Structure 1
Amino acid sequence: MLHDPKRYTVTAALPYTNGPIHIGHLAGVYVPSDIYSRFLRLQGKDVAFICGSDEHGVAISMKAKKEGITPQEVIDKYHAIIKQSFADFGISFDNYSRTSAKIHHDTASEFFKKLYDKGDFIEEVTEQLYDAEAGQFLADRFVIGTCPKCGNDEAYGDQCERCGSTLNATDLINPRSAISGSKPVIKETKHWFLPLDRYDAFLREWILEGHKNDWKPNVYGQVRSW
């Protein structure tokens, strides 16, 4: 009989299936979480150590376009490589899945529909960069341009990796599409937003009081700034 019937759910960052994992991935998240899961199991705890391949990242689409293959071919290839790498290193996941699985789609849809039916979303029309040549809107990583803060000519639409500044794609000077290389235009598009200010009191208590002493200083500082 378990001394503590409470289940511990442990997870780690889901690796993008646009390339193999490397030693930095293992050292940063998977080995520490595996150690913690093993520690709990040795204490007789009920542990579910869960992870999976993230197959919905923009980097995957970019990899597919660069290699001239389909996104499905990219994710199938690297999901198999990543899963085998974890097995070879002895990472003891109780369940390693993938975000293309039906249960993931169904569960994510259920979350979205529940929030939508409750009226928790705000619908707004915003302006987004559009590649007329490729015929699609451009996610942040599909836009490259000059950082307005440091002048880096290869800044992405979400972040400049030279100075570390967080950016919006429309902030970039002389933006260009990473798909076609053409200059994008601005078009209107509708999005759903979850207004976190409605949950300000809960978030402040949970972050400022609940995790001040057990989160890394840089993580705590970043979340607090939001």
Structure 2
Amino acid sequence: MLNLSEVADPSIDITDEDRRRAEDAFLAYDEYTKRVYEKPKRPQPKHTGIRNVLITSALPYVNNVPHLGNMIGSTLSASVFALYCDLAGHNVLSICGTDEYGTATEAKAVSENMTPREICDKYFKLHCEIYKWFQIEFDYFGRTTTTKHTEIVQELFKRLWDKGFYL
């Protein structure tokens, strides 16, 4: 066990003022971490004079275990930016989800002798657990295979089509 008297420099006097400043710094850091990790439920109602920020990232495929490279390039950076916006006093809504369509998902299902839906369920759960472990958080983390997602995408496509935004 480390004996502090063996490593402490006896020629340095620690005053009560030094102790008070160290305690104040510790408590200030403690308050900072509470603001970061005990943030208010988002999104808050819109307020005049408060900037509203929508944050999303590329949707990860659910055909495998996410690795650090996947997370750094998308979900982690979005989560960190949301924390920054929270600390800056902005009203934040952060959304993400898993992309459950594509050839890679179907191929993975075949290789594991499962249906695409079973693969998506398996890896969606795994993604959620890994993001939670890394403290990567979103206000809403959805799936592209839900009925609601399909309705939103179809409505957005229809609006764009009706306004002439197509190739």
User: TM-score by structure 2 length?
Assistant: 0.66
Report how far residue 57 of structure 1 moved. 2.1
Task: Give yes or no for the alignment of 1:50 onto 2:99.
Answer: no
**In structure 1, how many angstroms separate the alpha carbons of the residues matched to 2:101 and 2:135?**
26
Instruction: Specify the alignment match of 2:121 in structure 1.
Output: 76
Structure having the larger proportion of residues in helix: 2
User: TM-score by structure 1 length?
Assistant: 0.49
**In structure 2, how many angstroms separate the alpha carbons of the residues matched to 1:111 and 1:3?**
27
Identity %: 33
Task: Describe the SS at the equivalent of 1:68.
Answer: coil
**In structure 2, how many angstroms separate the alpha carbons of the residues matched to 1:92 and 1:119?**
35
Report how far residue 114 of structure 1 moved. 3.5
Unmatched runs of 5 consecutive residues or more in structure 1: 122-193, 196-226
Residues 3, 44 of structure 1: 8 Å contact kept: no
Instruction: Specify the alignment match of 2:4 in structure 1.
Output: none
Structure having the larger proportion of residues in strand: 1
Report how far residue 36 of structure 1 moved. 1.2
Instruction: Specify the alignment match of 2:15 in structure 1.
Output: none
Return the structure number with greater relative CO, CA threshold 8 A, min gap 6.
Answer: 2
Residues 4, 45 of structure 1: 8 Å contact kept: no
Aligned residues: 122
Task: Give yes or no for the alignment of 1:93 onto 2:125.
Answer: no
- Counterpart amino acid of 1:69? M
**In structure 2, how many angstroms separate the alpha carbons of the residues matched to 1:32 and 1:3?**
28
Report how far residue 23 of structure 1 moved. 1.0
Instruction: Specify the alignment match of 1:28 in structure 2.
Output: 73
Whose Rg is larger? Answer: 2
**In structure 2, how many angstroms separate the alpha carbons of the residues matched to 1:43 and 1:115?**
33
